[in-house]
Amino acid sequence: MGTIDYVRRPMPKQEHFERVRNFDEVALGYTAGLAREESSRCLRCKKPGCVDGCPVGIDIPGFVGLVADGDFAAGIRILKEKNALPAVCGRVCPQEEQCEKDCILGKKGDPLAIGRLERFLADWEAEQGPPPARIPPTPNGRRIAVVGSGPAGLTVAADLALLGYGVTVYEALHEAGGVLTYGIPEFRLPKGIVRREVRYVESLGVELRLDFIVGKTRTVERLADEFDAVFVGAGAGLPWFLGIEGENLNGVYSANEYLTRCNLMRGYRFPAWDTPLKRASRVAVFGGGNVAMDSARTALRLGADEAHIVYRRSREELPARAEEVENAEEEGVIFDFLTLPVRLIGDGWNWLTEIECRRMELGEPDDSGRRRPVEVPGSEFRLSMDASICAIGNSPNPLIPMTTPGLEVGTKGNLVADEATGRTSRDGVWAGGDVVTGAATVISAMGAGRRAARSIHETLSGGEGTEGL
C-alpha cells in the first residue's frame, strides 16, 4: 500500500463578497479530477464504518471505488440502489455526524469527503441528460397513499413503486419536495435539483396530487378505505414562538413563513415574480440551528444591512452544522451569543422597531447535556431591529391526528409509530420522518421512509423480495 493521504480536497465555492449578493449555490462541487483524487484516499476497509453510519445503508466503498476508477455511470447506479435523492443528500446531509464520522482516515486526518463525492456523481449524471427510462416493474395490483412529498414520503413512494405498487402522493402545497422545496434556501439546495429528483420518483410511475390537504380535502380514514396502505410523512411544519410580548407586531416572522415566502413563493425573484417579501434593514434571528443560519443568510441576500443570530447559549452549543456557521460568519452574519429576547417593541403603526434582550450566562448541564443558560439579573438592553425571525423549532401540524380517530399522538404532537417499522396505532396506517421524530434531518426521514416501505411490503405481500430495501 502507498502512503496514506490524510488531506481532504477542498470544494470550490463562491467568494463570500459575491455570494452574499446572489441566491446562486454557494458550494460549486468537485470537478471530475478532484473527485477522483479525493476518492482515491479511501482505504477500502474490510469492515467499513461509513456504511453503518448511513441511515439508508448506501454501499459507500462501492461507489467511492468506482469514482476512483472513473466509472461514474456504475457509481451512480450503486448510489441510487439505496438513495432516490443523492443530489439532495450530497448537499445537505450532516455527513460529519454520520458516514464521515466513522471514517478511519478521520482518526489521524480528514475523513473522506463522502457527501461531496455523492453530490459529484448525482451532478455528473444530471449533466449527461435525462437518465435512460427504467423498465417499469410489473404492477402488483395494490395501491398505496402517501401523505406529504418530503424526503420521507418520496422515499416510501420510490421504494414501493419499484416493487410494483401503484403509489399516489398527496401534497398540501403547490410544489412537491417538502422542506427541500419550501425551507432550505436556493443557495444551499437549488430548487432545480429538487425538481429533478422529484421527476425521477415520478418516472417510477408515482402519481403526485398537489394542492391536496389530507385532513381537509380527504381524511386519512377515507384514504385507508380506498388504498391498501397509507403512509403519513407530513413533516413538522408548525412553528414555535417564544411566547413573549410583541410577537403579533408587523415585521415579526416565524422562520417557516419567512423561508416559505422566499423559496416557495419566490420572494427573492421579485419583481420577476409577483409575491415580494418586505426588505428589512436590520434583522434578528432567534435560534442557533441550520434553520436560523438559513434565515440570517437569506435576510442578507434580500438586502438587509445587518443580520444577527440572537442565541441564548454560547458558540460551543450552536446546533447548526459547523460548515453553515462558517459560511454565515464569512458572509457577515453577526452572532449575539448568551442573549435572550424578552420583549418585542413596536412603533405607533405596530411595526417592530426594537427588541429588548437580557444577558445570559451558562450554568450546570441540563437534560440535553448542554450547559443551561441562566439569566443575568438587571442586564436588559435593546437592539434596534425592523424584522425578527423566530427559528427555535417546529412540531407536527395537528390536522391529521385531529381528523384521524385511533391515531396515537405523543406529548409534542408527534405521531407515535414503531421505530423499526413505522406502524402507527391505526391499522393500515404507517408514519415516518419529522411527523414522528419532530424536526430532524433529511436522511433520517428517508431512513424512516425506507423502513416503512419494507414493513408495508412485508405486510401486504408476506415479505417477498424486500432484500433490496
Nearer to ligand FAD, 304 or 357 (CB): 304
Nearer to ligand FAD, 198 or 310 (CB): 198
One residue of 98, 254, 397, 455 binding ligand FAD per CB under 6 A: 397
Name residues contacting ligand FAD, limited to 147-186 (CB under 6 A): 147-153, 170-173, 178-179, 183-184
Query: Does the protein bind ligand FAD through residue 298 (CB under 6 A)?
Result: no
Give every CB contact of residue 127 below 8 A, 6+ residues apart in sequence: none
Cis peptide before 271 (omega within 30 of 0): yes
Query: Does the protein bind ligand FAD through residue 400 (CB under 6 A)?
Result: yes
CB neighbours of residue 138 within 10 Å:
7
**Coil, helix or strand for 123?**
helix
Query: Which window, 15-23, 95-103, 160-168, 432-440, contacts ligand FAD (CB under 6 A)?
Result: 432-440
Query: Does the protein bind ligand FAD through residue 93 (CB under 6 A)?
Result: yes
Nearer to ligand FAD, 263 or 339 (CB): 263
Nearer to ligand FAD, 339 or 394 (CB): 394
Nearer to ligand FAD, 72 or 311 (CB): 311
Nearer to ligand FAD, 83 or 441 (CB): 441
Report how far residue 57's alpha carbon sits from residue 45's, in angstroms, rounded to the nearest whole number: 16
> What's the min distance (Å) between Cβ of 331 and ligand FAD?
16
Nearer to ligand FAD, 358 or 404 (CB): 404
Query: Which window, 14-22, 337-345, 353-361, 394-402, contacts ligand FAD (CB under 6 A)?
Result: 394-402
Report how far residue 312's alpha carbon sits from residue 340's, in angstroms, rounded to the nearest whole number: 5
> What cell does 171 get?
401534497
> What's the min distance (Å) between Cβ of 15 and ligand FAD?
22
Determine if residue 370 is left, alpha or beta; phi over 0 gives left, psi from -120 to 50 gives alpha, anything else beta: beta
Query: Which window, 92-100, 299-307, 308-316, 416-424, contacts ligand FAD (CB under 6 A)?
Result: 92-100
Contact call for residues 338 and 310 (beta carbons, < 8 A): no
Determine if residue 235 is left, alpha or beta; phi over 0 gives left, psi from -120 to 50 gives alpha, anything else beta: left
Count how many Cα atoms sit within 13 Å of the Cα of residue 228 in the half-sphere of its side chain. Answer: 17
One residue of 25, 284, 434, 450 binding ligand FAD per CB under 6 A: 434
Nearer to ligand FAD, 360 or 443 (CB): 443
Nearer to ligand FAD, 83 or 397 (CB): 397
Name residues contacting ligand FAD, limited to 227-256 (CB under 6 A): 233-235, 237
In single-letter form, the type of residue at position 358 comes to R
One residue of 157, 291, 307, 355 binding ligand FAD per CB under 6 A: 291
CA separation, residue 364 to residues 297, 353, 371, 377, 416 (Å): 32, 35, 5, 17, 32
> What's the min distance (Å) between Cβ of 282 and ligand FAD?
21
* Burial of 72: CB neighbours in 10 Å, binned 0-12, 13-18, 19+: buried
Give every CB contact of residue 199 below 8 A, 6+ residues apart in sequence: none
Query: Which window, 7-15, 122-130, 392-400, 420-428, contacts ligand FAD (CB under 6 A)?
Result: 392-400
Nearer to ligand FAD, 147 or 300 (CB): 147
Complete DSSP assignment for 199-261: HHHHHTT-EEE-S--BTTTB-HHHHHHHSSEEEE-----EE-----BTTTSBTEEEHHHHHHH
For the four alpha carbons of 427, 429, 434 and 435, in that order, the dihedral sign comes to negative
Report how far residue 19's alpha carbon sits from residue 25's, in angstroms, rounded to the nearest whole number: 8
Report how far residue 401's alpha carbon sits from residue 206's, in angstroms, rounded to the nearest whole number: 25
Report CA dihedral (161, 167, 172, 177) to the nearest 10 degrees. 10
| Number of residues counted as binding ligand FAD (CB under 6 A) | 41
Name residues contacting ligand FAD, limited to 322-361 (CB under 6 A): none
Name residues contacting ligand FAD, limited to 354-373 (CB under 6 A): none
Contact residues for ligand FAD, defined by CB under 6 A: 92-94, 147-153, 170-173, 178-179, 183-184, 213-215, 233-235, 237, 259, 290-291, 294, 397, 399-400, 433-435, 439-443, 445
